[in-house]
Chain A
Amino acid sequence: MIIDRRKFVRAAGLGVLATAAAPATKLLAEEQLVTDHSGDMPLKQPKPLTAKRWAMVVDTRKATPENVQKAIHACHHEHNVPEFDNSKDEIKWIWSEHFDHAFHEQDLHYIPEHTKHTPTLLLCNHCDNPPCVRVCPTEATWKREEDGLVMMDWHRCIGCRYCMVACPYGSRSFNFRNPREFIDEINPGYPTRMRGVVEKCTFCEERLARGKMPACVEATQDCGMITFGDLEDPNSDVSKLVRKHFSIRRKPGLGTQPEVYYIVPDDPEEHDEPTAHGEEEHS
């Protein structure tokens, strides 16, 4: 009996030790990731970008077909988004629509022709009050309270597509078939998905964690078409932009509180220096 009890105590002790050690080994493993291979000196882990409320401002005055394509390509390449030749299976995290189509509920008839056709980037709005999160039966999609990102767990999603039904913006896509065969060049730094799950833009939470701006922002930083930052910080670029310029959001009447703001396109003739900053960078 005594031996049995001793054995038990010892085993229990080992168990406790193992549990305590688990996070430590995990930490070690993570440390290794940032270890420079040339020497043993660990690299300083890049500081994650944090915010109380991540938001995006899309300045459609700076939107050209090329700029827009750059943003889409950067995102889709980075995140292993497959490309299908039919719209039925289509997957898109960020895409472009004409301005009057993106804001179709505004019934924009009498606006400048130029404005109508301005390419407008659409993506997940990371709503403050996201209906997709409300309807998800498994919490495979949820709102990260600390910074407002609407997250996805592709390993929990059952593929019921209720979130796609509830999203008023068409921001979500479903893997109707195995996407891996339709990715031109797989980025090993990001997971691919399998058939049967829903996916969408994550505001590049994986890049923010490594101290980087979202891929679409980085790809278009020359022209400054997309600005990303903390809307709760009055000194952030996004806060300054929405204070300075008239901006609109998609379907604000639904109460979802989208966090992607659009500075509306204006008439290019009245505009003296439309992309002065961008042109400088290009030349």
Chain B
Amino acid sequence: MIENALKGGKGYWTWIVILLAIIGIGALAWVRQFTVGLTTTGLSRDVTWGFYIAQFTFLVGVAASAVMVVLPYYLHNYKEFGKLTVLGEFLAVAACIMCMCFIFVDMGMPIRIPNVFIYASPHSMMFWDTVVLFGYLLLNILISRVTFQAERKGIKYGKWIKPFIILSIPWAISIHTVTAFLYSGLAARPFWLTAVMAPRFLATAFAAGPALLILIILLIRKMGTFDAGKKAIGQLSIIVTYAMAANVFFVLMEIFTAAYSDMPEHLNHFKFLYLGLDGNTTLVPWMWASSILAVISLILLFNPKTRKNFALLGWACVMVFFSIWIDKGMGMVVTGFTPSVLGDVVAYVPTLNELAISLAIYAGGALIVTLLYKVALDTRARMAA
């Protein structure tokens, strides 16, 4: 089965080599960061978390989104998702590993990370986030392995795995809830101090994750290796539609609360995001791009004619994905620090070194997805033949 990963055409190997090259460059950049220190990033005393933690947060959402194929299939017996659950779980595995890599590269003392377990501190949300993320990774590795082995042998998976599958559903919700708690429990940061943080994280997760899954499925479909079926894709696109709508709704709630209450400590952050603050407009074009993408994608998704057109659906999914990526991967974390606790606007822009490391982690994730999907889909193709 695994040997399928070593058999492929020219396109396959070119893709693998490109990914490995990006990972290699990022590894060198990380060696530089490790030896010199985090001064190689754009982070500072005032903006202490940045691009890495933002990517981590975004990818926790992608990981959690596997539940959107697992839940309908296992709880509601929605048969159309039968062939998709394993693909969702593989995506979750890759996303979890990317999350861990982003945490790893963000640490000032990465070799001391075991301290999180040696001196386990239940009062810290970071401790719980580590626990739920590790747990979710293990659950998905276990479940995808067991169910796929059964599928390969043409038998039904053992009954013992079912409790683990059921457990993985609330667990998926928990990983993004706890990640939201990392932020929303801090009195020092009014921008994050909002109860809607966790629900909003989940909405973005269930929009961006399935959007990515649709894109991958459409791509695989085009390559002719596997067709998930129109019904499954249609159902996924409805999930994306309503999750995205919920996300936009939550954003509007946030803006109303900040704007109508007119409290500077809340409103200033939104000014920084959408209008610029103290002359700093770094994020303004990005945030407006995110908003416009959100609106266009929703129009395309809500209209059944455009939603059912796979080409347009693909574009809508690209827009959903990037709209949320900008919002979470660029805006959300940095704005918590702008203005700072002393009311200052301190600029933060990720450095090339930081971006090279981040890109390498994404390439690593893409590599994991590629290999896992290759193994699974080639196996399925051989079984069908």
Contact = CB atoms under 8 A, between A and B. Distances in A.
A156 B187 contact: no
Given A88-B39, A160-B107, A139 B116 contact: no
A137 B37 CA distance: 21
A138 B108 contact: no
Interface residues of B, number: 42
A170 B342 contact: yes
Contacts, number: 134
Contact of B188 (A140, A173, A195, A254): A254
B153 interface: no
A135 B125 CA distance: 6
B109 A170 contact: no
B67 interface: no
A135 to B, nearest CB: 5
A158 B108 contact: yes
Interface in B102-129: 106-110, 112-113, 115-116, 118-119, 121, 123-127
Chain A interface SS verdict (over half): loop
A156 B342 contact: no
Contacts of A104: 342-343
B37 A177 contact: yes
B119 A156 contact: yes
Interface in A129-156: 131, 134-140, 156
Given A87-B45, A176-B37, A158 B188 contact: no
B227 interface: no
A130 to B, nearest CB: 11
A176 B38 contact: yes
B43 to A, nearest CB: 7
A166 B188 contact: yes
A278 interface: no
B257 interface: no
A247 B127 CA distance: 38
A162 B183 CA distance: 10
A161 interface: yes
A97 interface: yes
Interface in A37-79: none
Size class of the contact patch on chain A: 35 or more
A174 B109 CA distance: 11
Given A158-B107, A158-B112, A165-B188, A170 B341 contact: yes
Nearest to A162: B126
Contact of B187 (A88, A161, A168): A168
B130 interface: yes
Main SS at interface, chain B: loop
Nearest to A178: B37
B385 to A, nearest CB: 50
Nearest to B106: A160
A105 B124 contact: no
Contacts of B379: none
B187 A196 contact: no
Interface string B111-151: 01101101101011111001000000000000000000000
Contacts of A237: none
B265 interface: yes
B198 to A, nearest CB: 17
Interface string B41-58: 001111011000000000
A157 B108 CA distance: 9
A212 interface: no
B112 A167 contact: no
B108 A165 contact: no
Contacts of B189: 165
A98 to B, nearest CB: 11
A268 B48 CA distance: 39
Contacts of A88: 39, 43-45
Contacts of A168: 187-188, 341
B370 interface: no
B36 interface: yes
A89 interface: yes
Given A101-B343, A158-B115, A176-B43, 18 more contacts: A88-B43, A88-B44, A102-B342, A104-B342, A135-B186, A136-B124, A138-B116, A138-B118, A138-B121, A139-B121, A140-B115, A156-B112, A158-B113, A160-B126, A161-B108, A162-B126, A166-B186, A177-B38
8 contacts: A87-B346, A88-B45, A107-B264, A135-B124, A159-B38, A165-B337, A176-B37, A196-B109
Closest 10 CB pairs of A and B: A159-B108, A196-B108, A168-B188, A177-B37, A176-B39, A195-B37, A137-B126, A104-B343, A177-B39, A137-B124
Interface of A: 87-91, 97, 101-102, 104-105, 107, 131, 134-140, 156-162, 164-170, 173-178, 195-198, 254-256
